[in-house]
Amino acid sequence: MERRFQHVFLMGPMGAGKSTVAQYLRREMEYVRYSLATPVEAVLDIAAPWLRDASKAVRRPYLQKVGRFLREFKPNPLFLAAEEVLKHTTSPMVIDDGRTVEEAVWADQHGFLVVILTASEFVRRRRILERDGELPDGRTHEDETEQQWKYARGLVIDTSDLTEDEMCEMVRAAIESRRMERCKREERRTNGEA
């Protein structure tokens, strides 16, 4: 029996609107928000506790290094932790920090709607400054995991000219569209149609 709700996996560059959409889904649609970076942050907090209260811009390069290290393990501990949460959730889940093609494939295989949010560099820089009060070190953008979203497959939404409400409504409409597709497939299966 299929779920009545749709998990959502958000990918894209920093400042494209992933956190904004995830907060909206949590607040307005009762989604459980989960971060693939949860295990990454736990390892960093153990390895470098002095960074615990540092700004996002300072922490990000260290998080990227730990993330690359953990992604080398097979099976991937980021997926194992997410799967454990999936097993126990009775609500739809939104993951708002998809980074790699492998993560997008995993999400698709686990029934997530993969949404890739993009925005112009100017808009992203402005949003990051408004959110964090500073821009990350230039090397942060050079990290391989910060670029892989470009190669992932999913629904692409350019948020450059959208308000926060508009980007959230576009994702909500995509969720509803996916739900309707699933209902139609289930109805065809029930009626014995191919």
Predicted local distance difference test score (pLDDT) of residue 2: 44
Predicted local distance difference test score (pLDDT) of residue 146: 79
Q: Give me the percent of the chain exceeding a pLDDT of 70.
A: 96
Predicted local distance difference test score (pLDDT) of residue 30: 93
Q: How far apart are CA 106 and CA 103, in angstroms?
A: 5
Q: Minimum mean pLDDT among 55-69, 110-124, 177-191: which range?
A: 177-191
Predicted local distance difference test score (pLDDT) of residue 192: 78
pLDDT digits (tens, 9 = 90+) for 77-106: 999 999 999 999 899 999 999 989 999 999
Residue 71 has pLDDT above 80, yes or no: yes
Which is higher by pLDDT, 170 or 134?
170
- Contacting residues for 93 by C-beta, under 8 A, at least 6 apart: 7, 8, 31, 32, 33, 34, 85, 86, 112
**Cα–Cα distances in angstroms (integers) from residue 17 to residues 21, 104, 147, 193, in the given order:** 6, 17, 16, 40
Residue 194 has pLDDT above 70, yes or no: no
**Cα–Cα distances in angstroms (integers) from residue 126 to residues 14, 18, 72, 146, in the given order:** 11, 15, 33, 18
Which is higher by pLDDT, 75 or 144?
75
Q: How many CB atoms lie within 10 A of CB 90?
A: 7
